[in-house]
Copies of this chain bind each other. A is one copy, B any other.
Amino acid sequence: MQTVAIVGTGLIGASFGLALRRMGFQGEIIGVSSEGALAEAKGAGAISCSAPLNEAARAADLIYLSQTVDRILDTINRLAEYVQPGVLVTDAGSTKVTIVSKAAECLSHICFVGGHPLAGKEVRGACSADADLFRGRPYVLTPPQGSPSPHLDSFRAALEKMGAIIVEAAPDEHDRALAFTSHLPQLLATALAGTLHEEANPAFRDLHGAGLLDMTRLALSSPDLWSAILAQNREHVLTALNKFLAHCTNVRDSVAMGNISELFLKGQEFALWVRDEKNLKR
């Protein structure tokens, strides 16, 4: 793996570039992005040069797509005519079914592996990039498809050197789970913040604790990014939201009847389970 192209040099793309350098990668890292994003990524040391997509794609052994999920689809479409045999294309998008299907359709002649680092932040841009962004965090990889690539093993080894915990998952398994573990929490943070916004109670400024800040942190996320994610995973997200609404209605009724303990214990059980390192099957 001599040359890497990073398409979309925002938080994730620039962090990948920084992490590559930190683990000792000496080759060229070509950025493909808007002028402003490229300047930021270069300033941060995440890329060594920049090029248009066609040139970068022709030069690269690994093409890393770290744009918003709607743009990743568009790039996959455009990449088809530029990629060279043997290249490995991977993405870092938050949905997998749509992207992996698109790649199966357009990039069947080369090797494609869907990816998703579960390591976002509510801030954006290369100025927030971090060589340790992936450390200790799950990095989902979908099964390789298309033709084999000699760079697949190097890519997996690089992720491991970056401290990422590789988790293999089928695209639909990923999207179903993330609807509950990521897309639903995002929407609840947004809905909670929106509910308080509608109240327009100035006392909320002073009368809140750390719990509210935790529960509304995700509400800082960008609508552009999320509109595309939610559109691509709509069915699973609606299932998760409807199940939550039913459960939350139970919670409301239990508060009204004064018997909330059982629901608290169930919630506590899950919160402990998901934090218990012993449960991790990695």
Contact = CB atoms under 8 A, between A and B. Distances in A.
A263 B205 contact: no
Determine chain A's interface SS by DSSP, over half rule.
helix
A279 B210 CA distance: 16
Interface stretch (A53-61, A71-79, A226-234): A226-234
Contacts of A240: 195
A209 B245 CA distance: 22
Can you tell how many copies of this chain the complex includes?
2
A264 B226 CA distance: 9
Contacts of A216: 267, 270-271, 274
Interface in A188-215: 188-199, 201-215
Max count, chain B CB within 10 A of own CB: residue among A223, A230, A258, A279: A223
10 contacts: A173-B207, A177-B207, A187-B251, A195-B240, A195-B244, A197-B267, A214-B218, A223-B260, A241-B255, A245-B252
Interface of A: 118-120, 137-138, 140, 167, 169, 173-174, 176-178, 180-182, 184-199, 201-224, 226-227, 230-231, 234, 237-238, 240-245, 247-249, 251-252, 255-256, 258, 260-261, 263-275, 279-282
